[in-house]
A and B are shown apart, each in its own frame.
Chain A
Amino acid sequence: MSGTFLGMPTAPPRGTGNIRGSEPFPAAARTELGNAQLRRNVGKATRTIRDKRIAVTGELPDWEELRSAGAAIKRDVLSRLPDLLEQFEQAVTARGGTVHWARDAAEANAIVTRLVRGTGSDEVLKVKSMATQEIGLNEHLADEGITAIETDLAELIVQLGADRPSHILVPAIHRNRAEIREIFLRAMPGVDPDLDDDPAHLADASRRFLRDRFMRARVAISGANFGVADTGTLSVVESEGNGRMCLTMPETLITVMGLEKLIPSYADLEVFLQLLPRSSTGERMNPYTSMWTGVTPGDGPGEFHLVLLDNGRTATLADEVGREALHCIRCSACLNVCPVYERTGGHAYGSTYPGPIGAVLTPQLAGMDTGSGDPNGSLPYASSLCGACFDACPVKIDIPSLLVELRHQHVEQAGFDAEQALMKAASAAMASAGRWTAAQRAAQLGRLLGRGGRIRALPPPGSAWTSARDLPVPPKRTFRQWWDSAEGRAAIERARREGGAR
């Protein structure tokens, strides 16, 4: 129960779904770093998109003004969110759409399942969508006996490969053409057995595979890049035309949209239609953008359902500093400039949202459980804080500052078992000479853990420290031991003599 009506605001609950990995970032990153193919592919992709983005953003003399406008529009949306959400709902409903509200992943999945069942179909086509990835919709539908087919080429590669996406924009970027050919030959029904690994032929194979599915589709599921509050318009930005197919051909369209995707007015699209493609793919404009408002008799689906998703977004909104992460328009520019992401790829982050923005958004949406070694607690440290992500962000999200704030929150909440315990122990040791000497001797055991002058992993609770940084190994002798040694005594004696001779 919300405390709203008692006048006592309570912090909203965190989100659920695919926003938590199975192991902390450093461990996952170590595994990924061992994958040379992945590093090559991701490195090439990020460099290419980075250069294209710089070229096309440089073309616009008002790029900085657009970024400022984009940031302010998003801040404005969040400040008026209750009113705008109601206005949006009313506009969608007035145009023949139906709006559903989902508190969390499970509720959103249940709503979509019920709607799909209502159509009598056990197969749905899907447009690439971060929100449905976040709530684990495909897996849920499979459990319910409904087959969800991804129609974006990269998502299809990931799905047929029983794999996970590794990038927001190009989810299969960790795969090369030979691997994709193998996946298609193995898992794509009806594929030509003579298929080679030419990208054009691979794209054509997906066209053939999906063509008649598009023609007979009865229900499709999409995400949304933007929802316009004043008109009820929704928008999907894409390249291949699979989005247009899903939004146009079926009888029923179900769109799942995070409630932060709202923009106040239709005219605001003029800002985001410039910011998104240039930041995302480094193009002046993506090949296809679809905009629709409710239903239009004789054009497109006769039934339109919109699922508005909370799933931790209101919890993020409750944090005055962290709410800035809700400005994100999922362009992935921050991934492509991040030296950490470039080396580890997206899987190391464990969440639907990888890279710098994922390192911020994931712990905010799903929380950082204290005391349980929650992988989400490691994400704020998965950054060198170099600031490249801030420079690249089209809506000026200050990701480095948000990461520092999350580190602070993490230490405040979770620090007691780790660093705080260590500091307490240090303080107790320093309070007594005997204990201090004993502690120093104990520390020398640390030499056994080190290699090449560095200690890379300490046992708990020291592991909390070494999970993010190396330690120099302790010296062979402490200062006191040196002082008491023959060598030390000789050195002191020498210094005395020199002092006396002056």
Chain B
Amino acid sequence: MNARETVLGRVRDALALAPPDAVQVPRDYRRRRSLPPERRRELLVDRLEDYRASVHQCDTAEAPGAIATALRGARRIGIPAGLDRRWLAEFDGEVTVDSAEVPSARLDELDGVVTGSAVSCAETGTIFLDSSADQGRRALTLVPDLHVCVVALSSVVAGVPEAVARLDPVRPTTLISGPSATSDIELDRVEGVHGPRTLHVVLLLDA
């Protein structure tokens, strides 16, 4: 008998030896919350800053200026193919459009990256990236040391259940809550280990 049949047989045997009861999962935790935009904004900004992310709040028209400010010091940046190019109108460095043909290791030559985002959770300060055209492949938001992430206030939800409900399970998905961090040495928090050491969030209040 192969391992698969053996293990599945063992599972069935185990349950036959001690048959379990059917289970009803209680779902009375908070699943469908709505918060007024102002409260959502306050909560998200508070949580993001608590995670040492820098937050720039502005209207869409001011986004190019905010992004250029966030990119200060970066000369060569990467963007996903679907990013709105108008956002980079005030950035004067070199822009590389990423694609699957570029070896991921080459991304190490970039100073930073600008992307959009899929959904954000206010209560935890978490941004969800689902590899859509404006976010690119996972390596793009991982290898460069600076990540400027554009978040539309309309894509911000209150809690984790509301955020998970908006995801497509098939897409490779990354949740980011602040920059890379470690607390492995005497529990002293150190920002920036292997992922981006700096996270700037440009929060679009009218989008």
A→B interface (CB under 8 Å): 1-5, 9-12, 41, 44-45, 48-49, 61-62, 65-66, 68-69, 72-73, 75-76, 78-79, 81-82, 85-86, 95, 100-103, 107, 151-154, 157, 170, 172-173, 176-177, 180, 199-200, 202-203, 206-207, 210-211, 214-216, 228, 231, 233, 239-242, 244-245, 247-249, 259, 266-267, 269-271, 273-274, 281, 283-293, 296-300, 308, 310, 314-315, 317-320, 323
Inter-chain contact B182/A240, CB cutoff 8 Å: yes
Q: Which residues of B contact A69 (CB under 8 A)?
A: 25-29
Encode B15-46 as 1/0 by CB contact (under 8 A) with A. Answer: 11110111111111111000000000000000
Q: Which residues of A contact B167 (CB under 8 A)?
A: 266
Given A79-B22, A290-B172, 4 other A-B residues pairs in contact with their CB atoms under 8 A: A2-B5, A9-B16, A287-B178, A291-B175
Q: Give bound CA distance, A7 to B172, whole Å.
A: 42
Query: Is B161 engaged at the interface, CB distance under 8 Å to the other chain?
Result: yes
Question: Which residue on B lies nearest to A237, using beta carbons?
Answer: B175
Q: Which residues of A contact B131 (CB under 8 A)?
A: 296, 299
Known: A75-B23, A259-B7. A172 touches B164 (CB 8 A): no
Q: List 27 A-B contacts (CB under 8 A).
A: A2-B13, A9-B12, A9-B14, A9-B17, A11-B17, A45-B187, A65-B28, A78-B20, A79-B15, A81-B15, A100-B3, A153-B193, A170-B184, A231-B170, A239-B181, A249-B105, A281-B183, A284-B47, A285-B177, A288-B176, A291-B173, A291-B174, A296-B131, A299-B139, A318-B17, A319-B18, A323-B14
Q: Which residues of A contact B7 (CB under 8 A)?
A: 101-103, 259, 308, 310, 314
Inter-chain contact A244/B174, CB cutoff 8 Å: yes
Inter-chain contact B23/A76, CB cutoff 8 Å: yes
Inter-chain contact B160/A274, CB cutoff 8 Å: yes
Inter-chain contact A289/B161, CB cutoff 8 Å: no
Q: Give bound CA distance, A308 to B7, whole Å.
A: 9
Query: Is B124 engaged at the interface, CB distance under 8 Å to the other chain?
Result: yes
Sorting the interface of chain B by its residue count into under 10, 10 to 19, 20 to 34 or 35 or more gives 35 or more
Inter-chain contact B105/A9, CB cutoff 8 Å: no
Return B105 CB to nearest CB of chain A, in Å.
4
Selected contact of B124 from candidates A176, A285, A299, CB within 8 Å: A285
Q: Give bound CA distance, A299 to B184, whole Å.
A: 30
Return B207 CB to nearest CB of chain A, in Å.
24
Inter-chain contact B100/A299, CB cutoff 8 Å: yes
Inter-chain contact A248/B142, CB cutoff 8 Å: yes
Return A67 CB to nearest CB of chain B, in Å.
9
Question: Which residue on B lies nearest to A100, using beta carbons?
Answer: B3
Return B26 CB to nearest CB of chain A, in Å.
5
Question: Which residue on A lies nearest to B194, using beta carbons?
Answer: A241
Q: Which residues of B contact A79 (CB under 8 A)?
A: 15, 20-23
Inter-chain contact A4/B12, CB cutoff 8 Å: yes
Known: A72-B23, A273-B164. A242 touches B10 (CB 8 A): no
Q: Which residues of A contact B31 (CB under 8 A)?
A: 270
Inter-chain contact B4/A101, CB cutoff 8 Å: yes
Selected contact of B11 from candidates A170, A292, A314, CB within 8 Å: A314
Inter-chain contact B185/A2, CB cutoff 8 Å: no
Return A224 CB to nearest CB of chain B, in Å.
15
Known: A207-B193, A207-B194, A287-B178. A82 touches B15 (CB 8 A): yes
Inter-chain contact B164/A270, CB cutoff 8 Å: yes
Return A242 CB to nearest CB of chain B, in Å.
5
Q: Which residues of B contact A103 (CB under 8 A)?
A: 3, 6-7
Inter-chain contact B175/A203, CB cutoff 8 Å: no
Inter-chain contact A290/B164, CB cutoff 8 Å: no
Q: Give bound CA distance, A316 to B51, whole Å.
A: 40
Question: Which residue on A lies nearest to B20, using beta carbons?
Answer: A79
Inter-chain contact A314/B3, CB cutoff 8 Å: no
